[in-house]
Amino acid sequence: MGRRCGAVGGLTDAVLELAGVVAGYGGSDVLQGVDLAVDRGSITCIVGPNGAGKSTVLRTISGLLRPRKGTILLDGRQVGGLAPWEILSMGVAQVPQSGALFPSLSVRENVLMGAYIHRRDGALLRERYLRVEDFVPFLRERGDDRAGNLSGGQRRFVEFARCLMLDPHLVLLDEPSLGLDPGSLARVFDLIGRMHDDGKTIVLVEQNVRLGLAVATRAVVMENGRVRMTGDPADILGNPAIAELYLGGTVRRVDAPGAERTAEPEGSADRAAP
Q: Tell me how crowded residue 33 is: count the other CB atoms within 10 A of its CB.
A: 17
The reply to whether 56 sits near ligand ATP by the rule CB under 6 A is yes
Please give, one letter per residue, the 3-state secondary structure of the chain: CCEECCCCCCCCCEEEEEEEEEEEECCEEEEEEEEEEEECCCEEEEECCCCCCHHHHHHHHCCCCCCCEEEEEECCEECCCCCHHHHHHCCEEEECCCCCCCCCCEHHHHHHHHHHHHCCCHHHHHHHHHHHHHHCCHHHHHCCCEHHHCCHHHHHHHHHHHHHCCCCCEEEEECCCCCCCHHHHHHHHHHHHHHHHCCCEEEEECCCHHHHHHHCCEEEEEECCEEEEEECHHHHHCCHHHHHHHHCCCCCCCCCCCCCCCCCCCCCCCCCCC
Nearest-approach distance from CB 16 to ligand ATP, in angstroms: 17
The reply to whether 94 sits near ligand ATP by the rule CB under 6 A is no
Q: Which is nearer to Mg ion, 55 or 110 (CB)?
A: 55
How far apart, in whole angstroms, are the C-alpha atoms of residue 64 and residue 62?
6
User: Which of these segments, 1-9, 51-59, 212-220, 242-250, binds ligand ATP (CB under 6 A)?
Assistant: 51-59
Q: Three-state DSSP class for 52? A: coil
Q: Which is nearer to ligand ATP, 115 or 220 (CB)?
A: 220
The reply to whether 56 sits near Mg ion by the rule CB under 5 A is no
Tell me which residue of 58, 50, 4 sits closest to 171, measured CA to CA. Answer: 58
Tell me the per-residue interface mask from 177 to 206 with Mg ion, x by CB under 5 A, - otherwise: ------------------------------
Asked if residues 203 and 235 have their Cβ atoms less than 8 Å apart, the reply is: no
The reply to whether 177 sits near ligand ATP by the rule CB under 6 A is no
Q: Which is nearer to ligand ATP, 42 or 56 (CB)?
A: 56
User: Which of these segments, 17-25, 51-59, 144-152, 209-217, binds Mg ion (CB under 5 A)?
Assistant: 51-59
Give, as ranges, the residues between 76 and 115 that touch Mg ion (CB under 5 A).
97
The reply to whether 55 sits near Mg ion by the rule CB under 5 A is yes
Give, as ranges, the residues between 108 and 167 that touch ligand ATP (CB under 6 A).
none
The reply to whether 50 sits near ligand ATP by the rule CB under 6 A is yes
User: Which of these segments, 53-61, 138-146, 156-164, 231-239, binds ligand ATP (CB under 6 A)?
Assistant: 53-61
Q: Which is nearer to ligand ATP, 30 or 139 (CB)?
A: 30
The reply to whether 230 sits near ligand ATP by the rule CB under 6 A is no
How far apart, in whole angstroms, are the C-alpha atoms of residue 87 and residue 81?
10
Nearest-approach distance from CB 50 to Mg ion, in angstroms: 8
The reply to whether 52 sits near ligand ATP by the rule CB under 6 A is yes
Q: Which of the listed partners (ligand ATP, Mg ion, none) does 164 bind, with a CB threshold of 5 to 8 Å by partner kind?
A: none
Binding residue for ligand ATP, selected from 207, 208, 230, 239, defined by CB under 6 A: 207
Residues that bind Mg ion in the complex, under the rule CB under 5 A: 54-55, 97
Residues that bind ligand ATP in the complex, under the rule CB under 6 A: 25, 30, 48, 50-56, 97, 207
